[in-house]
Homo-oligomer: A and B are copies of this chain.
Amino acid sequence: MTQLSPTGRIGVLGGGQLGRMLAMAAARLGLDTVIFDPEPDCPASRVAAQTVTAAYEDLDAVARFAASVDAVTYEFENVPVEAAKTAAAHAVLRPGVKALDIAQDRVTEKTFLNDHGAPTVAFRAVASADEARAAAEALGVPAILKTRRFGYDGKGQAVVRSVEDAGAAFTAIGERPAILEAFAPFVRELSVIAARAVDGTVRAYPAGENTHEGGILRETRAPAQLSDATRAEALRIAETILTALDYVGVIGVELFELEDGSLLVNEIAPRVHNTGHWTMDACACDQFEQHVRAVAGWPLGDPEPLVPARMINLIGSDADDWERWLKEPGAVLHLYGKRETREGRKMGHVNILLR
């Protein structure tokens, strides 16, 4: 069980804003970060001790990168599994390949979750327009057709409103291997950010309540007001998943809360998560530090918030309001250093501390 010294080096596959915030958390603890990303000027490169610019398919580069650090982690779940396996052969990889493998395919993920006692909506794997129609017939409509792989922020999805619709939906998502998911009659979207240490200890932040717009997270409020039963169930689900994956690091578990307070898992993200950004200013140990602690083989920190908080994503031109946010009492502005503002691009976020 590798434990890093406080002058150790962590490698991060991926250099977007999550890698950037991980690198800063590692630096607060004395650690150096090496970023691996195909983009030379990626956001994380500007706060990291070193950056390796190469494609994830360049396994020689991945091997050299991994050999130069004490532990490797990743900031996104679409790291090619071959790259992760190569990293794991040359350094300790946390979380491991298994979490990636499962999270990259929606059918594998939901099957795994159900097998381990984490409930999801009903679903069916779909590989053709005919199968899409049959699945819609079986699950009922409305339902949502999603590509099995590489979906994020609502991309690669189509709503199926009738059985006849299902074939067109399959065409709309590019006739790729897909999953049809039954509609979840949820009243709220919640998420739990939890961590598991090398020794198996689990610590979870209180659940947040999320609002999405156009498939993109708009806002998280935390802690969410939950019944004791729902709070206990959210924690049970997170612990169940972390343990089943023999996971090390922070995970994001997105949940649907139904009218009766019961929970379904929407999806898991084997990494630090946008819905956990509120922890940066509301907790003594935020999700990034928590992940770094786990990856380093260190004890986990206290996930109890000092104050409640509201996190607002700054998407596209929202970030033009930076000066207004600087003047807002109790607001903490975070910008990701992205050179170009694009519609739908996450440019930063604001944490509003609710004293």
Contact = CB atoms under 8 A, between A and B. Distances in A.
A354 to B, nearest CB: 11
Contacts of A49: 45-47
A284 B281 contact: yes
A214 interface: no
A29 B284 contact: no
A317 to B, nearest CB: 13
A260 interface: no
Identical chains bound together, number = 2
A161 to B, nearest CB: 42
A250 to B, nearest CB: 16
A124 interface: no
Interface string A79-113: 00000000000000000000000000000000000
Interface in A47-65: 47-49
Interface string A19-56: 01001100111111000000000000111110000000
Interface of A: 6-7, 20, 23-24, 27-32, 45-49, 281, 284-285, 293, 298-299, 301-302, 306-307, 319, 322-323, 326-327, 329-339, 348, 353, 355
27 contacts: A6-B335, A7-B338, A20-B27, A23-B47, A24-B47, A28-B333, A29-B333, A29-B335, A30-B335, A30-B336, A30-B337, A30-B338, A31-B337, A32-B46, A32-B337, A46-B48, A47-B47, A47-B48, A284-B332, A285-B332, A293-B326, A299-B326, A299-B327, A301-B326, A302-B330, A306-B353, A306-B355
